[in-house]
A and B are shown apart, each in its own frame.
Chain A
Amino acid sequence: MSSDVAIRAEGLGKKYLIGHETESYTALRDVVSRRARRFGRSVIDMARGRPNVAGDHVEEFWALDHVDFEIARGDVVGIIGRNGAGKSTLLKVLSRITEPSSGRLEIRGRVASLLEVGTGFHPELTGRENIYLNGAILGMSRGEIKRKFDDIVAFAEVDRFLDTPVKRYSSGMYVRLAFSVAAHLEPEILVVDEVLAVGDAEFQKKCLGKMGEVAGQGRTVLFVSHNMGAVRQLCTRGILLAKGKVIADTDADSAIALYSSTVQEAYGISFEARPDKPSITAIRIDEVALRHGSLHVEIDFTAPGPLEIPIGGLVLRSVSGEAVWGSNGRFHQRSGGDGVATGTLICEARDLPIARGQYLVSVWLGDWYEDHDGRLDVLSIQFGDDRVDPLRPPASVIGHVEWPATWSDAQRGPTSKEDNAFTPSA
């Protein structure tokens, strides 16, 4: 392995066991016999020292499947793909959190991974104490933290609250402090999961700047994001994953383009409900309304208990990743549906002033206080008709807002020929 290769993966695989429930409960007798069978299996598993898996029959699932790649020192690589493509599993294997089931991975240099902002932050401890705690968890030595302490505090802009327990911080302050500690890591290889999705826009920009700086110093960075704009801005290379396999390993722009094209146009999708929390079970988008420039989205949800005030959220993103338009029931008009455990939320927006083209739809479900479920970029839709207007520049050039304007000549006045009254007489 030549010394300018930072990471090399060969046939990397990660297998999980997932359990399925095969039968539905019909009679008490079935339930009892099924419980007995399950109990028998857990005892056998336990005796063999294998982990227990819930469900009636167990299936292998390869979250990563023969993944090969090589990353040179100083590469800034964006790892993209849809939810469940294996991105997070790959990062977990790279950060040694979990061991691969097959294959081999060679890493040259110190790895720091940032899979979550503020890992290990303790609410009872003060900002100062949490900087030391979090720094140590991320792999910094005490001396290193001491040296960078002032920079971390300055970057986070929390100097007045250093000796306040972080449980009293606003969520913005919390995220700023947490990111700031991570931003001052100086590993040879930095592994970052979708962490920029938090914090306010101003701070996100600052973080992107900081990450760009890190990348500029010749460090190797692996970056997972759904934000294609950020990937494009930061990364020189893109690896596209789908179903645990590497689909493309090329420059960032081509990978993004390929990703956008693999996100198939679809107007409906359904999901398995989770038993433990409110979840989105289906999303449907009215295709006909879309053609006419309006949006009609139905979100089915089900929850373990009634949702006091069910709130739906929706964001349209361009294929290059910028958010174009969004709405949720907290700030837009909302009516009905309170106190139900299962229902359908309908989002209706007439004559959206956005440009024709392809958009990615993300959907959230929550109640008044927090979000419970979110599906990022789950559907790719065509907004407006797909007629090609040869005179119109692409949205990446002129933007996504569509609002008619009129053009006229200063000599002639606006639009009308008869409107001579305002023109100076010759």
Chain B
Amino acid sequence: MTASPTTGQSERLLIIAPGRSERNYWLDLWAYRELLAILAWRDLAVRYKQTFIGVAWSVVRPLLTLVIFTILFSRVAKLPSVGTTPYPVMVLAGLLPWTLFSSILNEAANSLITNANLIGKVYFPRLIIPTATTAVAFVDFLIAFVILLALMLWFGFAPDWRIALLPAFVLLGILTALGPALIMTTMNVKYRDFRYVLPFVMQFGLYVSPVGFSSAVIPDAWRLLYSFNPVVGVIDGFRWCVLGGQAPFYWQSFTIAIVETIVFLWIGVRYFRSAERTFADLI
């Protein structure tokens, strides 16, 4: 055989051999970008098909949590807000990134299992599936963001220039969730029991993260340790953007969040990729 992999033809030569799928992967991922868009669109379309329920759900859920958290943490526990920020605004500014994080993690972690029929029948870079699920979480986030704006208007609370930096923190929130999500979804395929672990972790996380309260209430001695939860950095940054300087910017939690996001993404992608080629056999 004369080895001439690309003889300048328009057709490409594809070689399939054990361990070979490493190559061309990122190129393939780019080639399949339309599928990514259409799967994201599918999830959205199905979610909002019965439009009223779909949208209503993404409004009711944060509102109810908001009311409960405000009563619980502000009235019952008597925790302080940050600066002069109305407590509900501060809670919602933390609830938004938390919900973004947790719904990406939830949706993505189960995504391979719910799309098992696709995985067994067609080829595409599997990374598309968990990634596409972020779209639904993002749209839910946008809806909740409108509620936040309405709430700020209601309290007559104006943001300042810092809100322009918000998209960067939204992106950080998405990426922070994606790394662990890739690990979870891979685990879910290999060991089905894992799907019972995640809801527990998420419930725990909601109270560990500064959602219902400001991270300023954490004693200084514990701050460093507390910041190792990457969501702390995301929520802190989010509040800093939205609350117009009322919430301080914590460099520590921000730096830790970025480093952890990168590390988790790297581990997540590697782990996902190493297991990916056997998904069809396991699922």
Residues of A within 8 A of B (CB): 1, 3, 16, 42, 46, 49, 51-52, 92-93, 95-111, 113, 115-116, 119-120, 122, 124-125, 129, 132-133, 136-139, 141-142, 188
- Interface contact A129-B121, CB-CB below 8 Å: no
CB within 8 Å for A113 and B122 given contacts A125-B46, A129-B45: yes
Contact of A98 among B4, B15, B17, B280 (CB under 8 A): B280
A188: nearest residue on chain B (CB-CB)? B11
* Residues of B close to A99: CB separation below 8 A: 16, 18-21, 277-278
Q: What are the residues of chain A within 8 A of B16 when measuring CB–CB?
A: 93, 96, 99-100, 104-107
Cα A115 to Cα B21 in complex, Å, equals 21
Which residues from B are CB-within-8-Å of A51?
190, 278, 281-282
Please state if A119 and B117 are interface contacts (CB–CB under 8 Å).
Answer: yes
Contact check: which of A42, A101, A107 meets B14 at CB < 8 Å?
A107
How many angstroms between the C-alpha atoms of A111 and B12 in the bound complex? 11
Point out residues on B near A: beta carbons under 8 Å. 1-2, 4, 7, 9, 11-21, 34-35, 38-39, 42, 45-46, 49, 117-124, 190-191, 274, 277-278, 280-282
A50 to B, closest residue via Cβ? B190
Q: How far is the CB of A38 from chain B (nearest CB, A)?
A: 14
Tell me if B121 and A119 are in contact (CB < 8 A): yes
**Inter-chain contacts of A97 with B (CB < 8 A):** 119-123, 280
CA distance A113 to B118 in the complex (A): 12
Partner of A137, one of B1, B9, B20, B35: B35
Complex alpha-carbon distance, A122 and B2, angstroms: 46
Name the one of A3, A49, A100, A122 contacting B7, with C-beta atoms under 8 angstroms.
A3
Give complex CA distance A95, B118 in Å. 13
Q: Closest 6 interchain pairs by CB?
A: A96-B123, A105-B16, A99-B277, A136-B38, A98-B280, A107-B14
A164 CA / B36 CA spacing, docked (Å): 24
The CA-CA distance from A129 to B49 in the complex, in Å, is 12
Identify A108's interface contact among B13, B49, B124, CB under 8 A: B13
Residues of A within 8 A of B277 (CB): 98-99
Across-interface contacts of B11 in A (CB, < 8 A): 108-110, 188
Residues of B within 8 A of A101 (CB): 18
Q: Is the Cβ of B117 less than 8 Å from the Cβ of A106?
A: no
Given contacts A46-B191, A52-B190, A97-B280, contact A116 B21 (CB under 8 A): no
The smallest beta-carbon distance between B100 and chain A, in angstroms, is 25
Q: Once the chains bind, are B121 and A115 in contact (CB under 8 Å)?
A: yes
22 A–B pairs (Cβ distance < 8 Å), ordered by A: A16-B281, A49-B274, A52-B191, A97-B280, A98-B280, A99-B278, A100-B18, A104-B16, A108-B11, A108-B13, A109-B11, A119-B118, A119-B122, A125-B45, A125-B49, A129-B42, A132-B38, A133-B42, A136-B34, A137-B38, A137-B122, A188-B11
A92 contacts B13, CB within 8 Å? no
Q: Contacts A52-B191, A106-B15: A138 and B45 contacting too (C-beta < 8 A)?
A: no
Least Cβ–Cβ distance between B121 and chain A, in angstroms: 4
Q: How far is the CA of A1 from the CA of B277 in the complex (A)?
A: 26
| Chain B residues within 8 Å of A46, by CB | 190-191
Asked if residues A98 and B18 are in contact (CB atoms below 8 Å), the reply is no
In the assembled complex, the CB of A340 is this many whole angstroms from the nearest CB of chain B, namely: 32
A74–B234 CA distance with the chains assembled, in angstroms: 56
Whether A142 contacts B34 by the Cβ 8 Å rule is yes
Of the residues A52, A95, A102, A132, contact of B123 by C-beta under 8 Å: A95
- Residues from chain A with a CB closer than 8 A to the CB of B21 are 96, 99
Which listed residue (A98, A108, A122) contacts B46, Cβ 8 A? A122
CB distance from B176 to the nearest CB of A (A): 24
How many angstroms between the C-alpha atoms of A101 and B278 in the bound complex?
A: 10
Residue of B nearest to A109 (CB): B11
Distance in angstroms between the alpha carbons of A96 and B12 in the assembled complex: 15
What is the distance, in angstroms, from B54's C-beta to the closest C-beta of chain A? 11
Q: Determine how close the nearest CB of chain B comes to the CB of A178; give it in whole angstroms.
A: 12
Contact A106 B34 (CB under 8 A): no
Considering the chains assembled together, what is the distance between the CA atoms of A103 and B19 in angstroms? Answer: 11
CA distance A77 to B21 in the complex (A): 26
Which of B1, B46, B123, B274 contacts A1, CB < 8 Å? B1
Most chain A C-beta atoms within 10 Å of own C-beta, residue among B7, B20, B119, B122: B122
Q: Which residues of A contact B117 (CB under 8 A)?
A: 116, 119-120
**Contact of B42 (CB < 8 Å), options: A113, A122, A138:** A122
A16 to B280 alpha-carbon distance, docked (Å): 12
Chain A min CB distance to B89 (Å)? 37
State how many angstroms separate the Cβ of B124 from the closest Cβ of chain A. Answer: 8
